[in-house]
């Protein structure tokens, strides 16, 4: 639950706003964001990585207002498409604090990023090194680049969000020598300035040992680069991926000890090799945006399957939270419209899509008297829910409301049928 929230009298109060009032005012399904929670997590990262750089990973959740919060909190921004870049630039986000990612950035996207003057481009392949080199020369600019390295670390998370093993689309492999070859190619192009190495081992990771192994391997590559080329790279980017609690029973890692551990390892390896310690960069997305978001749904139908469970259908589903169906992600939820003393029933909260895998919460104990018109609140939905939302079955995407000191305001309005039909001939 968001830091500034409480369960009270059968409902949830987020930053001073009763979710029943929010549902009445803005409709459901509704994404609610505790602004102070988001901002305080930006500050936690800045404090833990004091002296290093924190880039918020916009893919977790980005809109104009969020870009403003990130800017005001003094973080950088990681974008991975022209669209994400457009959101940032539209609110005057300083381009030098933007990093551009992606395994298949188009020439048009790269050109836009170079023209805007983004702070760094994280190159992901040999094709891209050549492409950025060509475009930078055409535009007469010198592009700052980091090389995305796959370090071979096995991150213990879902296959779809593990990104450090060799057999996958991202990055240049350390083990095969591709990363070292990428360094040679970048250094051979005068219009590229190699500022550092980058690694992102995966997402929703609880076992932090993987970050440390990746950091150590990258630090070793830094020393090899110095030996082979006499070049000292100033930056080491360790990506994002720190896990958050989705269930009461989850014990998410604290960021401060992770930061301290990473810095120690990198310092040790570099000092042993006689290298200056590089500035670290991290790119948290979920850890900043996730915990402060809550989704509110209204119950429509309830169906009891004798002896098994009860299906509680809500007015959204896999179009506003794809994570359960895509990754088998686990969520919980509570009744948020009233108190109930009814005995618990094993429930599955499902959406309204034409798909039996359309599940929001796989297993949860809800009061037996849950009925049409009740509200359910699903916590920890601030990251990768609105940003992964889609329009399957022509459902309009829900609004996002930010709450601060008891005052709520729409930061992304609910889509309308006109939005859905726009652009069709």
Q: How far is CA 304 from the centre of its chain?
A: 36
Q: How far is the CB of 171 from ligand LLP (least distance, A)?
A: 9
Q: Is residue 200 a contact residue for ligand LLP (CB under 6 A)?
A: yes
Judged by CB under 6 A, the stretch of 36-44, 53-61, 109-117, 214-222 that binds ligand LLP is 53-61
Among 78, 124, 235, 298, binds ligand LLP (CB under 6 A): 78
Does 295 help bind ligand LLP (rule: CB under 6 A)? no
Per CB under 6 A, does 384 bind ligand LLP? yes
Task: Report yes or no: 327 and 158 within 8 Å, Cβ to Cβ.
Answer: yes
155 token code pair: 């991150």
Does the annotation list 134 as a binding residue?
A: no
Contact status: 293 vs ligand LLP (CB under 6 A): no
Residue 355 assigned as binding residue: yes
Nearer to ligand LLP, 29 or 284 (CB): 284
CB atoms near residue 143 (< 10 Å): 26
- The answer to whether residue 354 is catalytic is yes
- Say if residue 384 carries a ligand binding annotation: yes
CB neighbour list of residue 396: distance below 8 Å, 6 or more residues apart: 414, 415, 416, 417, 419, 420
Residue 239 assigned as binding residue: no
- The verdict on 285 binding ligand LLP (CB under 6 A) reads yes
Judged by CB under 6 A, the residue of 101, 105, 217, 348 near ligand LLP is 101
Q: Is-contact 399 27, C-beta < 8 A?
A: yes
Whole-number Å distance between alpha carbons of 162 and 139: 36
- C-beta closer to ligand LLP: residue 383 or 411: 383
* Residue 242 DSSP code: B
Total count of residues recorded for the chain = 425
CA dihedral (359, 364, 368, 370) positive or negative = negative
Handedness of CA 290, 346, 342, 21 (dihedral sign): positive
Q: Interface with ligand LLP includes 76 (CB under 6 A)? A: no
Q: Which is nearer to ligand LLP, 17 or 149 (CB)?
A: 149
The answer to whether residues 172 and 179 touch, using CB atoms and an 8 Å cutoff, is yes
The only residue of 12, 15, 30, 60 in contact with ligand LLP, by rule CB under 6 A: 60
CB of 102 to ligand LLP, least distance (A): 9
The smaller minimum CB distance to ligand LLP, of residues 283 and 298, is found at 283
Q: Which residues bind ligand LLP (CB under 6 A)?
A: 57, 59-60, 78, 101, 161, 200, 203-204, 239-242, 283-287, 323, 327, 384, 388
Annotated binding site for pyridoxal 5'-phosphate: 241, 283-286, 384
């Amino acid at each position: 639950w968001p830091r500034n929230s409480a369960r009270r009298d059968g409902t949830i109060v987020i930053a001073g706003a009763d979710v029943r009032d929010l549902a009445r005012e803005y409709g459901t399904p509704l994404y609610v964001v505790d602004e102070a929670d988001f901002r305080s997590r930006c500050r936690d990262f800045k404090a833990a990585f004091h002296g290093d750089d924190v880039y918020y990973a916009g893919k977790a959740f980005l809109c104009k207002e969020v870009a403003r919060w990130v800017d005001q909190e003094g973080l950088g921004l990681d974008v991975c498409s022209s669209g994400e870049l457009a959101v940032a630039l539209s609110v005057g986000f300083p381009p030098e604090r933007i990093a551009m990612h992606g395994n298949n950035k188009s020439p048009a996207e790269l050109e836009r990023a170079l023209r805007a003057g983004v702070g760094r481009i994280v190159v992901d392949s040999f094709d891209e090194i050549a492409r950025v080199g060509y475009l930078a020369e055409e535009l007469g600019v010198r592009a700052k680049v980091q090389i995305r390295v796959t370090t071979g670390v096995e991150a213990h998370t879902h296959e779809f969000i593990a990104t450090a093993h060799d057999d996958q689309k991202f990055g240049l492999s350390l083990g095969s020598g591709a990363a070292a070859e990428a360094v040679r190619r970048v250094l051979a192009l005068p219009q590229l300035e190699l500022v550092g190495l980058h690694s992102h081992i995966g997402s929703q990771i609880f076992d932090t040992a993987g970050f440390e192994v990746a950091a150590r391997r990258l630090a070793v590559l830094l020393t090899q680069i110095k030996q082979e080329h006499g070049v000292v790279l100033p930056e080491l980017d360790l990506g994002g991926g720190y896990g958050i609690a989705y269930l009461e029973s989850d014990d998410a890692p604290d960021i401060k000890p992770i930061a301290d551990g990473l810095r120690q390892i990198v310092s040790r390896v570099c000092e042993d090799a006689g290298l200056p310690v590089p500035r670290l960069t991290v790119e948290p997305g979920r850890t900043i945006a996730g915990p402060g978001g809550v989704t509110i749904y209204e119950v429509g139908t309830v169906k009891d399957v004798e002896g098994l469970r009860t299906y509680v259908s809500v007015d959204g589903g896999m179009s506003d939270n794809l994570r359960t169906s895509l990754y088998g992600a686990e969520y919980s939820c509570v009744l948020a419209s009233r108190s109930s003393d009814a005995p618990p029933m094993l429930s599955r909260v499902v959406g309204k899509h034409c798909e039996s895998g359309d599940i929001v919460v796989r297993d949860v104990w809800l009061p037996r008297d849950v009925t049409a018109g009740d509200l359910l609140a699903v916590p920890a939905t601030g990251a990768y829910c609105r940003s992964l939302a889609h329009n399957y079955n022509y459902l309009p995407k829900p609004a996002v409301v930010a709450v601060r000191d008891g005052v709520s305001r729409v930061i992304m309005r609910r889509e309308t049928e006109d939005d859905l039909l726009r652009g069709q001939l």
